[in-house]
Structure 1
Amino acid sequence: MGVLFTYMNSEIKSAGRILDLLEYLAVQREAVSLAQITGDLALPKSSTHGLVQTLVSRGHVVRDNAGRYMLVEASRHGFPFRRHEEPLVVTATPFMEKLREETGETILLATMTAHCDIRRLAKCVSHHGVRYDVNLDAAIAAYCTATGRVLLAHASKDALDHYFARVQLLSYTRYTITDIHKIHDLLGRVRRDGYAINDQEFVTGSTGVAAPVFEASGAVVAALNLGAPTTRYVQRREALLLAVRSAADGLSRALGYRRSGASSAPGSFR
């Protein structure tokens, strides 16, 4: 019985520490090093490293290229990363942080399922008092958002046909475009121009700019989005658009993409 009691005590202690670790990471606005974690929580380095690695392996925590750790925002809402999403977020994080610092606005990374459902993966929230923010698991309408339009623009024809056959085109604001022919025209322009804009079509007073993220094969695997209050967007439209496209291009290169002379064909989504 003594051995069992000791074993149970050890298990309970580990459970308590992992909960302490999750609560600690949940309030950190930026990624933190293992040394900072052990120092702040006064925990042994060896066992803390094991606990962190367990959370990483389960998709609740990611380790960036600098060796720092951060809680996956999605894990707070019950959907940790799928296997192919974690390396994408790890690679994207420094680009997102840099873009936020350059523009002062909120940055989001999202991908799309084979059924054209948008899945937000990560965000870097603006430090402005008045800022755009959203829960990663909040509903998003692909046809009237910048992120959605970028991803729809690079979906296959069959996926698009199925999407528009099942989705009701609702007016979220007085600016929302719901005419199917106009939406198809918009998607064509997104493919041609390499970016999409949602100007108050989903949320009044909020504007989004998004650009595609390509992987080595040339397929679009994600969209990088900047969200801002419309008043600030209007003042800096060209600068914000250029910054988003530049960051998405840098991230694509980091993923192994090399742009050819011709524009990319529509890609597929996992």
Structure 2
Amino acid sequence: MEILETLSMRPEPARLGDLARDLVIPKSSMHALLTTLVNRGYVERDSTDRYRIVESFRQGFGWVGGFEAQLRAVAQPIIDATRDATRETVFVCVQRPDLDVQLVCKAVSEQPIRYDAKEQSCLPGYATVMGRVLLAHTDPDAVDAYFARTELQAATDRALTDEAAIREELERIRAQGFGTIEEEFAQGGCGIAAPIRNGEGRVVAVVDIATVAQRYAARKGEMKAAVLETAEAISQRLGHRKERE
């Protein structure tokens, strides 16, 4: 807590040695503590090996009473790297209480033709790959209630609007560990998404690589590997370990 409080009051990043001296903590112990804080998404280390608190936490620790601020801090540098590697847009979403999905953070492709969505967009759970991945790992009774109250509407002529067909897709997602969608929610838009888990192994969010149909058709295997790797990296930062499952 002293490290976090100290960094929150510093306008500039601090070196490990300076923090160790100011807080009277051995450098080896300070290094271990800072490494943990970086891995958990509370602190960032820059290219000159200086440390600073994640900017969104500077005015207060928003994840106390709210998971999204921590998820955003943990996920953003990871999805930025995935965006740079794939040159495609990457989204991270969480499930709302009504079982639709909320966009938490994104890294938008710099290609001239790209997929994008507004910050904090709310998207239908049944009609998007992010929503389906989350529904696939939601309590069955809650899913039953969701379908009972939701009118299934087609966004494109390829959209699934049959409940049985969507449920089959949820089963497929659970079995294979990821979901895909091709021109169902947006004409010319495709996506591949994988679940993000917390330290207890529970699915708490989803990461999606969103692209255009032509590029997706040519690079499906590459995008699958990238989204699974990204989901695992974010999950590990949230404390998940496969051996705990």
TM-score normalized by structure 2? 0.74
Matched, 1:136 2:119: yes
CA deviation digits over 1:193-230, x for unaligned, max 9? 11111111000000011100000111101000111111
Given that residues 176 and 200 in structure 1 are in contact (C-alpha distance below 8 angstroms), is that contact kept between their aligned partners in structure 2?
yes
Given that residues 142 and 149 in structure 1 are in contact (C-alpha distance below 8 angstroms), is that contact kept between their aligned partners in structure 2?
yes
Alignment of 1:195-234 (within 5 A): 195-234=178-217
Of residues 107, 116, 134, the one that matches 1:151 is 134
Alignment of 1:48-67 (within 5 A): 65-66=44-45, 67=52
CA gap of 1:187–1:83, structure 2 versus 1, over 3 A, is: same
Deviation at 1:65, TM superposition (A): 2.4
Given that residues 114 and 159 in structure 1 are in contact (C-alpha distance below 8 angstroms), is that contact kept between their aligned partners in structure 2?
no
Deviation at 1:100, TM superposition (A): 0.5
Matched, 1:172 2:155: yes
Alignment of 1:1-270 (within 5 A): 34-35=11-12, 65-66=44-45, 67=52, 83-260=66-243
- The Cα RMSD (Å) is 2.4
**Aligned-partner residue type, residue 142 of structure 1:** G
Give the match's secondary structure for 2:105.
strand
**Aligned-partner residue type, residue 123 of structure 2:** I
Tell me the equivalent position of 1:53: none
Give the match's secondary structure for 2:229.
helix
**Aligned-partner residue type, residue 151 of structure 2:** Q
TM-score normalized by structure 1? 0.68
Given that residues 107 and 226 in structure 1 are in contact (C-alpha distance below 8 angstroms), is that contact kept between their aligned partners in structure 2?
yes
Given that residues 54 and 73 in structure 2 are in contact (C-alpha distance below 8 angstroms), is that contact kept between their aligned partners in structure 1?
no
Given that residues 43 and 53 in structure 2 are in contact (C-alpha distance below 8 angstroms), is that contact kept between their aligned partners in structure 1?
yes
Given that residues 214 and 220 in structure 1 are in contact (C-alpha distance below 8 angstroms), is that contact kept between their aligned partners in structure 2?
yes
Deviation at 1:115, TM superposition (A): 2.3
CA deviation digits over 1:55-76, x for unaligned, max 9? xxxxxxx97523376679xxxx
Q: What is the percent sequence identity of the aligned residues?
A: 31
CA deviation digits over 1:229-266, x for unaligned, max 9? 111111111101110011101211221112249xx6xx
Deviation at 1:99, TM superposition (A): 0.6
Deviation at 1:166, TM superposition (A): 1.1
Deviation at 1:128, TM superposition (A): 0.8
Given that residues 65 and 90 in structure 1 are in contact (C-alpha distance below 8 angstroms), is that contact kept between their aligned partners in structure 2?
no
Give the match's secondary structure for 2:126.
helix
Q: Which runs of 5+ in 2 are unaligned?
A: 1-9, 14-40, 46-51
Deviation at 1:34, TM superposition (A): 5.0
Q: Which runs of 5+ in 1 are unaligned?
A: 1-32, 37-61, 73-79, 265-270
Deviation at 1:138, TM superposition (A): 3.3
Aligned length: 198
Give the match's secondary structure for 1:222.
strand
**Aligned-partner residue type, residue 65 of structure 1:** E
Give the match's secondary structure for 1:226.
strand
CA gap of 1:124–1:180, structure 2 versus 1, over 3 A, is: same
